[in-house]
Amino acid sequence: MKILALDVSIAQPGFAVLEVVEGEVKVIELSYIKTNAKESHGFRLEQIASEMRRILEDIEVNYIVRERGFSRHAQVTQALYKVMGVTELVAHEDSFKGVVDISVTTVKKQVTGNGKAGKEEVAECVFEQVDIPSENFYEKKRNGRMVLVDDLTDACAVGIAFLRQEGYIE
């Protein structure tokens, strides 16, 4: 069982390919892309589609799952819906009948036990539930400081939530 889990956003979407092996979650691939806010939405959406296509060409997955996007701000919500459309299009191109959506609250509840958990708590729980070191979720900044890429932990959390909800893991 392999899944492609997505943390959707126009600015910095996260991608995680997870596999269940003997009840354990194995991380096959983690990636994210930073899009340039100065570029058009069309250009940024193509970058997102290209990364998703690259992953699906390299790795055969059984499901594509994503966090259901929303925002308090209308412009952000509109951009999220564009990204959702692109993920649907790429899934369709790869013969998927659709993408499974999971609400933010469900993701947090399935991963941490608390539907109102913060990003730090989600990240800590993800670190405990996957087979790779937590260092893989950090990027090095120019000043040498390591910073958590929460788009990666969020993508993994979406995948873990789906796998738990569907009974593939406990």
Whole-number pLDDT of residue 77: 86
Whole-number pLDDT of residue 98: 80
Q: What is the DSSP letter of 144?
A: S
CB of 142 within 8 A of CB of 102?
no
Helix, coil or strand: residue 33: coil
Whether 64 shows a pLDDT value over 90: the answer reads yes
Mean pLDDT within 67-76: 80
The whole model's pTM is what? 0.94
Looking at per-residue confidence, does 98 or 92 come out higher?
92
How long a stretch of residues is the chain? 170
Q: How confident is the model at residue 149 (pLDDT cuts 50, 70, 90)?
A: very high
CB of 158 within 8 A of CB of 65?
yes
CB of 107 within 8 A of CB of 158?
yes
CB of 104 within 8 A of CB of 117?
no
Question: What are the chain's domains?
Answer: 2-165 (3.30.420.10)
Whether 170 shows a pLDDT value over 80: the answer reads yes
Lowest-confidence range among 1-15, 71-85, 105-119?
A: 71-85
Lowest-confidence range among 40-44, 70-74, 98-102, 120-124?
A: 70-74
Rounded to 10 degrees, the C-alpha dihedral 25/27/28/34 comes to 140
- List C-alpha distances in Å: 156 to 97, 114, 164: 22, 17, 12
Radius of gyration of the chain (CA): 15
Rounded Cα gap, residues 30 and 39, in angstroms: 24
For helices 150-165 and 119-129, the axis angle rounded to 10 degrees is 60
